[in-house]
Amino acid sequence: SKSDLTYWKELDKAVDGYAKENGFEYVIDQEPFLRNATGKPIIINYFYHSTITQSAKNNRL
């Protein structure tokens, strides 16, 4: 169903693990002008903040 975010939460965990394994920085909803001290790419997840975090807020109401 549309309200089931299990897939997206699992995907977030997988991306976080991938980033750690490869020395990438993984951030949620940050400015795109960040610099990784290692010179490797930064993975920015805008979806998590706008969808999953908002969903959590709605569930508390």
> Cβ atoms within 10 A of the Cβ of 48, count?
20
pTM as predicted:
0.63
**Predicted pLDDT of residue 8:** 82
HSE-CB at 13 with a 13 A cutoff on CA atoms is: 6
Examine the pLDDT at 57 and tell me if it is beyond 80: no
Cβ(22)–Cβ(40) under 8 Å?
Answer: yes
Is the pLDDT at 60 greater than 60? The verdict is no
Tens digit of each residue's pLDDT (9 = 90 or more) over 7-50: 888 988 999 999 999 989 888 776 656 777 778 888 888 776 55
Three-state DSSP class for 44? strand
User: What is the Cα Rg of the chain in Å?
Assistant: 13
**Does 58 score more than 60 pLDDT?**
no
Separation of alpha carbons 35 and 13, rounded Å: 22
